[in-house]
């Protein structure tokens, strides 16, 4: 950091002296939520409390959500669902010092050490850019920060100033968090007004088209021709895929579209993307 970015070696040495390796972080990395079956994962996020919190968030931040929707073309319901999953609408942004999390994973988690070392580098840079004490920001056990749980690299590239005050405070300012999520999706290819997913039923051989791995390997017309039926009306013939999720009483089938894959660029798990979509549907239908 000193050689490549002109940091003070003494200043960083002092910061690392006050940084702690956290065994609890390594334990959490070994038991991710996304390892659960869909029916168990869904129950963690599709709760009355989260839906109620989402309604409150929509009401309290209507102007900021309207502005983000107009500027970036991303649905206010998806933005709200993401913030709801990530931090319970800002109520649970994480209890670990980001410096502790990223250092623990950079030097004690060999499987993804390079990824986290890159994020540690980005974190030190953003602290300097934003004038933050290295030991002050808090986040998740994986080093994700604020209401939208941005990794440091995402913060530096995509965090947005939602209210024009010259700051990008994703910890305490809902307008900044909202704009940041919207900008993230916009930059990752969100198609305004396009479908995300639809519940589906399959007939006969169509079940063989389904995959647990999300992908767009067909078109809607070809899936329909093969015996797949969808509940929600979708216009045109977009690229599509048949997604199978592990339901409590057997497989759950969904037809997924481009915007579903965009949600997965926020978190690579199809379980996460489906939870976000289902929450957004609940919020949209409660208007």
Is 48 among the residues known to form the active site?
no
Exactly one of 11, 34, 69, 86 is catalytic; name it.
86
Q: Which two tokens stand for residue 192?
A: 């305004």
Find all residues with CB under 8 Å of 185, minimum gap 6, and list them: 72, 74, 78, 79, 262, 263, 266
CA–CA dist 283, 273 (Å, integer) = 15
Residue owning tokens 């305490």: 172
φ and ψ at 97, to 5 degrees?
Answer: -65, 130
CA–CA dist 265, 29 (Å, integer) = 19
Burial of 94 (0-12, 13-18, 19+ CB in 10 A): buried
φ and ψ at 221, to 5 degrees?
Answer: -60, -40
Find all residues with CB under 8 Å of 45, minimum gap 6, and list them: 84, 85, 275, 279
Residue numbers annotated as active site: 86
């Amino acid at each position: 950091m000193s050689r490549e970015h002109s940091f003070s070696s003494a200043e960083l040495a002092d910061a690392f002296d006050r940084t702690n390796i956290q065994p609890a972080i390594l334990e959490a990395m070994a038991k991710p939520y996304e390892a659960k079956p869909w029916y168990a994962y869904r129950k963690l996020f599709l709760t009355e409390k989260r839906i109620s919190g989402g309604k409150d968030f929509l009401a309290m931040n209507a102007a900021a959500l309207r502005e983000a929707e107009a500027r970036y073309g991303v649905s206010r319901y998806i933005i709200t669902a993401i913030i709801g999953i990530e931090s319970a609408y800002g109520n649970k942004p994480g209890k670990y010092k980001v410096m502790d999390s990223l250092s623990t994973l950079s030097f004690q988690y060999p499987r993804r050490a390079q990824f986290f070392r890159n994020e540690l580098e980005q974190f030190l840079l953003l602290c300097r850019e934003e004038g933050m004490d290295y030991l002050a920001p808090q986040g998740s056990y994986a080093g994700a920060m604020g209401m939208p749980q941005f990794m440091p690299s995402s913060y530096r590239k995509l965090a947005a100033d939602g209210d024009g005050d010259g700051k990008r405070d994703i910890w305490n300012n809902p307008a900044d968090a909202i704009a940041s999520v919207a900008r993230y999706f916009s930059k990752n290819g969100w198609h305004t007004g396009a479908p995300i997913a639809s519940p589906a039923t399959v007939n006969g051989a169509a079940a063989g088209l389904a995959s647990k791995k999300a992908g767009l390997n067909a078109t809607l017309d070809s899936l329909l021709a093969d015996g797949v039926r969808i509940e929600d009306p979708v216009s045109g013939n977009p690229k599509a895929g048949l997604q199978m999720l592990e339901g409590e009483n057997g497989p759950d089938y969904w037809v997924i579209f481009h915007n579903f894959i965009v949600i997965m660029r926020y978190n690579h798990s199809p379980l996460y993307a489906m939870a976000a979509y289902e929450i957004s549907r609940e919020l949209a239908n409660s208007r």
